Structures are given as structure tokens and as C-alpha cells.
Amino acid sequence: MCLAVPMKIIEMQADGLAVAELSGSQTHVDLSLVNNVAIGDYVIVHAGFAIEKLNEEQAREQVALFAELAAVWRQGTPGALT
């Protein structure tokens, strides 16, 4: 299963890549599918590609949802995310 996650751009690179971060985890992201991305912007990342640029409010909502899902997963709630 693949997941698209919201990540914040923390470093731009000359080769069309960027470094994106979520909860301390960093990864290289290909920016070729989105326009006008800068350091501090949030993007949806899927399979190593930024596929959509988010405004800060959208990003915060999605990051909060992922945090909530992770909390449920860690608690081992019967039937949740299995």
C-alpha cells in the first residue's frame, strides 16, 4: 500500500529535488510535478514525488489527522487500521 503524506520543504537542491520533513523524518522529493515550491511550503508526497502544494492550513489539518491515526495505531485499538 502506498500513502501520500504532507511534508514541509526544508531544503531546495539545484537538480529539481528538495528535502522534505515530517515529524523529524526527512526524505528527498522530486519537485517536477508541481510549480512554485519554496522552502517552508508544504506538499503532498507520494512515491518520492511532490504531487500537490498545500496551504499551511490544509497541511496542519492533514498532519493532525496523520498524528491521530498514528496514535490509534500505537494504542492497538481492536479493528482500527488493521
Domain boundaries, the chain: 5-75
- Which one is predicted more confidently, 69 or 11? 11
CATH of 5-75, one of 2.30.30.140, 3.40.190.10, 3.30.420.40, 3.50.50.60: 2.30.30.140
pLDDT value at 65 more than 70: yes
At 70, the pLDDT band (50, 70, 90 cuts) reads: confident
HEC per residue, the chain: CCCCEEEEEEEECCCCEEEEEECCEEEEEECCCCCCCCCCCEEEEECCEEEEEECHHHHHHHHHHHHHHHHHHHHCCCCCCC
What global pTM score does this model have?
Answer: 0.79
pLDDT value at 2 more than 70: no
Tens digit of each residue's pLDDT (9 = 90 or more) over 22-45: 889 999 999 999 999 999 999 999
